[in-house]
Chain A
Amino acid sequence: MLTRRAALMGAAGVAALPVLAKAAKAESTTVHETAAPVDLSSLQRIKRDLVAPPFVHAHEQVAPGAPKIIEFEMKIVEKEIEVDQDAYLQGMTFDGSIPGPMMVVHEGDYVELTLINPPENMLQHNIDFHAATGALGGGALTLVNPGEKTVLRFKATRPGTFVYHCAPGGPMIPWHVASGMAGTIMVLPRDGLKDHNGEQVLYDRVYYIGENEFYIPKDENGDYIRYEDVGESYPDTLEIMNGLIPTHVVFNGAVGALTGENALTAKQGEKVLFVHSQANRDSRPHLIGGHGDLVWEAGKFNNVPDRDLETWFIRGGSAGAALYEFLQPGVYAYVNHNLIEAVNLGATAHVVVEGEWNNDLMEQVVAPTEYSGS
């Protein structure tokens, strides 16, 4: 009989995944034996250090010069995360954060990712880039066991915001994603974003809202169960996952991760690009008191953006982008407008906006006063 660790790491997992095993084999035949070599030695290389969400690493909105090879490095970290009061997730993360950090490149650039699975991890992992073409988004070429690393290069041919996620095969795929292993890459057009008239638009800030839903088992008393390790959490978690009713729906990995002292900030008059990513489940972002001036609902910048949206739809397994110029100061709530998920399950962020109130846009004409009936 296999130990749990052995089962999760290898033999049993692969046996359960004939499709992925075949795909990997097919790739090794075609890619390695017959593919013509490509010489990218003339391209400039740039290394980008990733930063934890909701922030995004420094980048140009308009690409300077010719396509480049953009190097990233991510370490996979399996760790317990407290996603709400007394609710612990045996999390799996790209680079230690849920969601995984956002990468930014330009159309025509090459993304070169070094993916590290440190020896202290228990599970094998990989990465499937929705922005990439072929080999299951790179998943078939990047399966790394604990104590292994791999380097994948792909050409960013389509501009837009795209999900990446772990997809190590079979039932491991939804589990790894539901445990936090998903992130976003933004491929900007080389000449930057365009509005509905084809005019260039620049953003003053970009915030990256990664939405996750979690399925955390409870004991007979209704308390969340805390597990020793990620393997121990699997059987119970699978049962809750298959019921499709999450216990938590959160931004940035935890209830309240983007509120209070962690609230997002902006200034009146600033254009803020909100990139919203959900790898597994539909969502519907809404900025309470604001709008989406220009919204790439499906996140793909070759399409004309929608204008003046109240709420926009994020298909599970995609990332979208919404640009908004803050016209009024105050505290805004950025929510998943399934308000049960926003308020009761956690999917709320706050944006604190400095500026001067504009009475033309809104004024309190009569403050609440007593009314005793007519």
Chain B
Amino acid sequence: MKTELIVAGLVAILGIPGLWLSTVRDPAPLAETVFIAADTIAYRPIGNFHQNGKSAVPPEQQRVVAAFEIMKHQVSGAEYAACVTAGACKKASRSPAEDSQAQTHVSWHDATAYAQWYSKVTKASWRLPDEAEWQLAAAEVFGDEAVETENGDPAQRWLQQYARGVTLRGLPGPTQAPRSDPGTNSNGLTGLGGNIWEWTSGCMQNGEVKETGDLILGDPYCSARIAGGRHRAVVIDFIRDASVGGCAAGLPPDYLGFRLVKGS
């Protein structure tokens, strides 16, 4: 995969005080991005699916994802702080210990506000990845928490999903500070193996699973967005800290951060 530093044309903007720097104390340098080539992934929507009146796990669908550019790193504390200083982002409930570390404790709305502000100041288009893009970019780090069971026993699916969630997390314990994996995945993205989940624009879906395996999708429920991480998580969009336990049906994400896709 090709790593590109997007420089041309933007250095000029960054270098001119008064254009927008006057309101930004410490402007974030333009984010380094990674080019992800178009590919086909085995994609499984998350949500309420049914078959013959019973809850069902949708089978994987072959899905073509167009090429895109995505930030190499998660948005850092310093970068997010610049948006807060500019008055375009709300202050997160926590800031990372070091400015260079990933910003956590942000809601989907916070992340979206950052994308809008960042688009404005860079005169480019930035947005959250959709869940298929995130899966393609995450590559081998993506974990599918879904479990397909044949016998229609709701408890088995539940138990297996719980066990799978535990395996996918693979963390030594529940009490860990936010930690971006210092390594890179096969696409050159950093931070994916840690305990920071990343907001996507994906919504909780619903629909019917036909006997053929085809899906008939209904209207998605977009107050619940998909966060990508060691396993995907469905999180209400105004939540900044979903780490607290209590949900017996699945494991929550530890921390919520994000990275952006360049282009519309």
B-binding residues in A (CB < 8 A): 82-87, 221-223, 254-257, 259-263, 288-289, 328-333, 335, 339, 342-346, 348, 350, 352-357, 364-370
Binary contact readout B194-216 vs A (1 if CB under 8 angstroms, 0 otherwise): 00000000000010100000000
With CB as the reference atom, state the residue of chain A lying closest to B219: A370
Complex interface residues of chain B between 35 and 50 (CB less than 8 A to chain A): 48-50
**A333 & B248 in contact (Cβ 8 Å cutoff):** yes
Chain B residues near A366 (CB, 8 Å)? 50, 53
Partner pick for A330 among B48, B54, B155, CB 8 A cutoff? B155
**Which residue on B lies nearest to A358, using beta carbons?**
B155
Query: Cβ of B169: which chain A residues have Cβ within 8 Å of it?
Result: 260
Q: Across the A-B interface, give the 5 residue pairs with the lowest CB-CB distance, nearest first.
A: A256-B174, A343-B246, A367-B50, A329-B155, A333-B248
Quick one: given A255-B245, A256-B175, A368-B48, are A357 and B156 in contact (CB under 8 Å)? yes
The CB with the most chain A CB atoms within 10 A, among B94, B175, B206, B218, is that of B175
Distance in Å: Cβ of B235 to nearest Cβ of chain A:
14
- Shortest beta-carbon distance, B233 to chain A, in Å? 14
B175 adjacent to A329 (CB under 8 Å) = no
Whether the Cβ atoms of A348 and B155 lie closer than 8 Å is no
Report yes or no: A370 in contact with B248, Cβ–Cβ below 8 A.
no
Cβ–Cβ contact A352 & B159, under 8 A:
yes
Interface size range of chain B in the complex? 35 or more
Q: A357 vs B54: C-alpha distance in the bound complex, in angstroms?
A: 14
A254 contacts B55, CB within 8 Å?
no
Task: Please indicate the chain A residues that have their CB under 8 angstroms from the CB of B94 in the complex.
Answer: 222-223
Given known contacts A85-B175, A366-B53, A368-B50, A259 and B218 CB-to-CB distance under 8 angstroms: no
Taking the complex as formed, is B177 at the interface, i.e. its CB lies under 8 A from any CB of chain A? yes
Given known contacts A259-B174, A357-B154, A369-B50, A364 and B248 CB-to-CB distance under 8 angstroms: no
Interface residue? B162 (CB, 8 A): yes
CA distance A82 to B176 in the complex (A): 9
Say yes or no: B156 contacts A335, CB within 8 Å: no
Question: How distant is the Cα of A353 from the Cα of B48 in the complex, in angstroms?
Answer: 24
Closest beta carbon of chain B to A223's beta carbon, Å: 8
In the bound assembly, the distance between CA atoms of A86 and B80 in angstroms comes to 21
Q: Would A331 and B162 count as touching, CB distance under 8 A?
A: yes
Determine chain B's interface SS by DSSP, over half rule.
loop
Assuming the A-B contacts A84-B175, A85-B177, A254-B174, are A364 and B158 also in contact, with contact meaning beta carbons closer than 8 angstroms in the complex? Answer: no
In the bound complex, how far is the Cα of B249 from the Cα of A288, in angstroms? 11
Is A260's CB under 8 angstroms from B156's CB? Answer: no
Whether a CB of chain A sits under 8 angstroms from the CB of B184 is no
The reply to whether A367 and B246 form a contact with Cβ atoms under 8 Å apart is: no
**Residues of A contacting B: mostly:** loop
- Whether A368 and B156, one on each chain, are in contact in the complex, defined by CB atoms closer than 8 angstroms, is no
Could you pull out 12 A-B pairs where Cβ atoms are within 8 angstroms? A85-B175, A86-B177, A256-B175, A329-B153, A329-B155, A329-B159, A330-B155, A333-B247, A345-B244, A348-B245, A350-B162, A368-B48
- Answer yes or no: B115 CB below 8 A from chain A CBs: no
Neighbouring A residues of B166 by C-beta, 8 Å = 260-261, 263
Please, how many angstroms separate the alpha-carbon atoms of A84 and B254 in the complex? 11
Instruction: Contacts A260-B166, A260-B169, A335-B246 given; indicate if A367 touches B54 (C-beta within 8 A).
Output: yes
- In the assembled complex, how far is the CB of residue A43 from the closest CB belonging to chain B, in whole angstroms? 43
User: Separation in Å of the B213 CB from the closest CB of chain A?
Assistant: 17
Q: Is the CB of A257 within 8 A of B246?
A: no
Q: Which residue of B lies closest to A356 (CB)?
A: B153
Assembled-state Cα–Cα distance A345/B243 (Å): 11
With a cutoff of 8 Å between Cβ atoms, the chain A residues found around residue B155 in the complex are 328-330, 353, 355-357
Chain B residue numbers with a CB within 8 Å of A343 are 244-246
- The smallest beta-carbon distance between A349 and chain B, in angstroms, is 9
Cα distance A369–B209 in the bound complex, in angstroms? 11
Chain B residues numbered 142-193 whose CB sits less than 8 Å from any CB in chain A: 153-156, 158-159, 162-163, 165-166, 169, 173-178
- A84 CA / B54 CA spacing, docked (Å): 38
Across-interface contacts of B218 in A (CB, < 8 A): 369-370
Residues of B1-59 at the interface with A, using a CB-CB cut-off of 8 Å, are: 48-51, 53-56
- Chain A residues near B102: list those with CB within 8 A: none
A12–B254 Cα distance when bound, in Å, is 44
Nearest CB of chain B from residue A324's CB, rounded to whole Å? 16
Q: In whole angstroms, how far apart are the Cα atoms of A365 and B218 in the complex?
A: 20
Listed residue (A83, A259, A365) with the most chain B CB atoms within 10 angstroms of its CB:
A259
Query: Is B224's CB within 8 Å of the partner chain A?
Result: no
In the assembled complex, the Cα of A367 lies from the Cα of B49 at a distance in Å of: 8
Interface assignment of B251: CB less than 8 Å from any CB of chain A: yes
Tell me the smallest distance from the CB of A357 to a CB of chain B, in Å.
4
Is the beta-carbon distance between A367 and B56 smaller than 8 angstroms? Answer: yes
